[in-house]
Amino acid sequence: MRTLKSLFRRMLPLLVSVALAGGWTAYPAGAAAEEPGGLDGSAARPKTELAAQARSAILMDAASGTVIYEKNSHEPLPPASITKIMTMLLVAEAIDDGRLKLTDKVRASEYAASMGGSQIFLEPGEEMTVEELLKSVAMASANDASVALAEKIAGSEEEFVRMMNEKAAELGLKDTKFVNSSGLPAEGHVTSARDIAVMSRELLKHEFITKYTGAYQDYLRQNTDKPFWLVNTNKLVRFYNGVDGLKTGYTSEAKFCLSATARRGDFRVIAVVMGEPDAKTRNAEIARMLDYAFAQFASLPIYKAGDVMGTLEISKGAKARVPLVARQTYSVLIRKNEAGDKIRHELKLKQPLVAPVKAGEEVGRLIVYRGENVIADFPVEAPETVGKAGWWTLLGRVAGKLFFAD
């Protein structure tokens, strides 16, 4: 027995290193072949101009990021209050990360209360909850509420703007530079229709946001002598079937802008216009873009949220393996007159994946093909947090492989 234990100790480092070796593992996903005449990252352009009056525009499938239509989509332009999409994104991330709660109180500074333009007329020292301020930004485009939230998260608007630009770089937004959190006119404060669509898509990953962006009206300061009626500046949430966001914008320089999103069934699209001559034209051209998307296209799910996609093998983890449960729905865009039975996909998981692994950490890619062409490439995230295993746990696993393998 002593000889056996001595041999086991000598072999243990080698056994562990063998157990932990690996590379990128590909898991082909069964029965799929090419998509007939499908999309390869951008759809065929419509025969008629969808946004003739807009200075720039884009129409995008929210799930895959496939561009259905675009016009001057990379032109840097002043975005006015569409800026607040990024402000809301950072707020949503802080809420989901646990750094901020909807019930947290925020005290308005003199600086926040001094903002002009669209506002809820915060008084210096007035307190509101994060939720009240967030709905004020989402519905009434309140500049004072935007700055109050920025100061709550970052300590100052200046630091918050640094975070906004940092997030823009992380998302690959090459046409964007933020100077403030509200979109009030400022030299050098620009973004593009495509960048707005990308940040809109990112914001929509925080599903609770449409509770506010999709509401038509609400109230602040109820049961006080200064009640305030919030009415959504995006009138399409009331008049267009499926619209539940996202953000309007207007200044004399930017003209009329809108990033709209609509969902019907499993299919969600994002439509952005910038530089429209008036609100009526802005809404009409957004509606035309949405009509085109819903008439011509559909969303084909690859995996739905909650589906088991495979198994994660985790080296040195408290759990050696966990089911890879989809944290979101993965789908691709197809034309309505085409079948989706020839699309194939491949799951590529990172190996070795070494503990600790955090929930939401990228652990691989889901790649969708039409023939040999990649039509979508999604990051796949860990479904749960897995900590490091203790020494005895690792020892037991190696011993099991050594003495109990078939």
Structure-model confidence comparison of residues 297 and 35, the more confident one: 297
For residue 403, what pLDDT is reported? 56
* Ramachandran assignment for 342, one of left (phi > 0), alpha (psi -120 to 50 degrees), beta (any other): alpha
Q: Residue 123 pLDDT > 60, yes or no? A: yes
Q: How far apart are CA 55 and CA 71, in angstroms?
A: 8
> Distances in Å between the alpha carbon of 269 and those of 28, 137, 310?
29, 22, 28
Q: pLDDT tens across 187-243, in order? A: 999 999 999 999 999 999 999 999 999 999 999 999 898 899 999 999 999 999 999
For residue 68, what pLDDT is reported? 96
Name the amino acid, one letter, at 60: M
Q: Percent of the chain at pLDDT above 70?
A: 84
Residues linked to residue 191 through DSSP beta bridges, in sequence order: 77
Domains of the chain: 2-39+307-404 (2.60.410.10), 80-242 (3.40.710.10)
Which of 14-18, 97-101, 200-204 is predicted least confidently?
14-18
For residue 192, what pLDDT is reported? 98
Q: How far apart are CA 400 and CA 336, in angstroms?
A: 53
For residue 3, what pLDDT is reported? 47
Q: pLDDT tens across 331-369, in order? A: 999 999 876 668 999 999 998 889 899 988 999 999 999
Q: How far is CA 356 from the centre of its chain?
A: 25
Q: Are 385 and 357 in contact (CB under 8 A)?
A: yes
* Ramachandran assignment for 245, one of left (phi > 0), alpha (psi -120 to 50 degrees), beta (any other): left
Banded pLDDT at 173 (limits 50, 70, 90): very high
Q: Residue 37 pLDDT > 60, yes or no? A: no
Banded pLDDT at 140 (limits 50, 70, 90): very high
For residue 35, what pLDDT is reported? 29
Which of 83-92, 131-140, 321-330 is predicted least confidently?
321-330
Catalytically active residues are 81, 84, 141
Structure-model confidence comparison of residues 46 and 192, the more confident one: 192
Banded pLDDT at 385 (limits 50, 70, 90): very high
Cis preceding-peptide flag for 356 (omega within 30 of 0)? yes
For residue 1, what pLDDT is reported? 44
Model confidence, pTM = 0.84
For residue 364, what pLDDT is reported? 95
Region 379-401 average pLDDT: 75
Structure-model confidence comparison of residues 22 and 217, the more confident one: 217
For residue 394, what pLDDT is reported? 56
For residue 45, what pLDDT is reported? 66
Query: Strand 217-220 and strand 243-251: pairing?
Result: unpaired
Q: Residue 132 pLDDT > 90, yes or no? A: yes
For residue 98, what pLDDT is reported? 95
Q: Residue 55 pLDDT > 50, yes or no? A: yes
Q: Residue 27 pLDDT > 50, yes or no? A: no
Q: How much is the mean pLDDT over the chain?
A: 87
For residue 398, what pLDDT is reported? 60
Residues in contact with 57: Cβ distance below 8 Å, sequence separation at least 6, in sequence order? 50, 51, 69, 70, 71, 72, 73, 193, 271, 272, 273, 274, 285, 289
CA-based angle 309:315:318, to the nearest 5?
90
Helix axes 130-140, 84-96, angle to 10 degrees: 150
For residue 245, what pLDDT is reported? 96
Banded pLDDT at 12 (limits 50, 70, 90): very low
Q: Are 236 and 279 in contact (CB under 8 A)?
A: no
For residue 106, what pLDDT is reported? 98
For residue 351, what pLDDT is reported? 83
Place of tokens 């873009």: 289
Q: Residue 305 pLDDT > 50, yes or no? A: yes
Q: Residue 69 pLDDT > 90, yes or no? A: yes
Can you tell me whether residue 364 is helix, strand or coil? strand
For residue 44, what pLDDT is reported? 55
